[in-house]
Structure 1
């Protein structure tokens, strides 16, 4: 991994979205109501969570004066007590294709806001007030990690772009190793796998503040 990767860009987020959607379109229709091994939500609910996160990251950058003391106050509701609380609900009648269209649409909002928001803008995030690059990097991580969660165990081949992973790691996980493969390191940094001589973290968080 480069010692000092380039910044995360809106194009990086767009690539992460496209590669993730390519993998998610291979999920069997009957699997969407099932639970991924690593989550308590169904696959359908997990995609709604991803859509929610990407849309809210875009919303944080939307106001002329972005909020610095909390999230833009959209009301959130879960589908069921165990489901994630979201502002985004996909119409079940639209099926998996409609669900993924919702995800793609929410992702496009974040790509667009990351492109047009001046780099000196800051907006609230629980893990540190962030800039457009930071929110784009958060979108990359949401897309890649939850796609991993969703397809794990489904025999779907998928290899996220290493350069995008490296830039997201550098931006959000400054203490992560730099001598290991970027995608596996991103999984390790978020408690999803081990690395040689490094047991997986039991707790983790990214650093949203600009580097």
Structure 2
């Protein structure tokens, strides 16, 4: 089982701001665990998702890329997405702008994931804190997009670990910070990682059934 060191204090404690370092840590931990997957396992389904594991990594890479490009223009859009073309390679598959070359194998797929993560890390580091950009769950700032990237990385790696037969338990600090930033109504009396899985519709909590619909609030905290 791959775990982070300590509580994942890159952002400055369990409840501090979400930073580019947090996002970089999440991506590097995910890539490290996914490198342990058998080469012949990538066509299997990713946990409870309808996508296979290869498609799920492409989707995660696409999420990170999409968040990076939202912050990219000198005047980021506030009413919609930067108009890249997203398309499905098969009915029911993820609609992506990012696709990995199958000929490059799993190593190439994970390189695509790492590169997409690095784009968002760079944009979070260099975007002024007052800048806002569109997201369907609330126009957000660089910290918000970092938190979104962390959530996408942690929970989709959970899906992938289920499908690939791997262990995955990310640092409590990472989970606590993104919960505070994006899910302020989530319970604070339960462990952060199970709570994040609950908040994203992937698990139950004591006295709280599994969610059938969920969303985060990406608007900046005041």
Structure 2 length normalisation: TM-score?
Answer: 0.92
- 1:69 maps to 79
Check if 1:42 corresponds to 2:64.
no
SS across alignment from 1:156: coil
Check if 1:166 corresponds to 2:152.
no
Misfit runs of 4+, over 2 Å: none
**Offset of residue 120 of structure 1:** 0.6
- 1:181 maps to 191
Q: 1:127 aligned to 131, 137, 149, which one?
A: 137
Greater displacement, 150-159 / 165-174: 150-159
Check if 1:33 corresponds to 2:43.
yes
* CA deviation profile, 1:179-199 (whole Å, cap 9, x unmatched): 111011000001111111111
| Counterpart Cα distance in 2 of 1:79 and 1:95 | 17
* Structure 2 portions without partners, runs of 5+: 1-6, 8-13
- 1:96 maps to 106
CA RMSD of aligned residues (A): 1.5
- 2:64 maps to 54
Structure 1 length normalisation: TM-score?
Answer: 0.96
Instruction: Give the number of equivalent residue pairs.
Output: 210
* Structure 1 portions without partners, runs of 5+: none
- 1:16 maps to 26
- 2:156 maps to 146
**Offset of residue 79 of structure 1:** 1.4
Cα distance 1:25–1:136, how it changes in 2: closer, same or farther (>3 A)? same
Check if 1:156 corresponds to 2:166.
yes
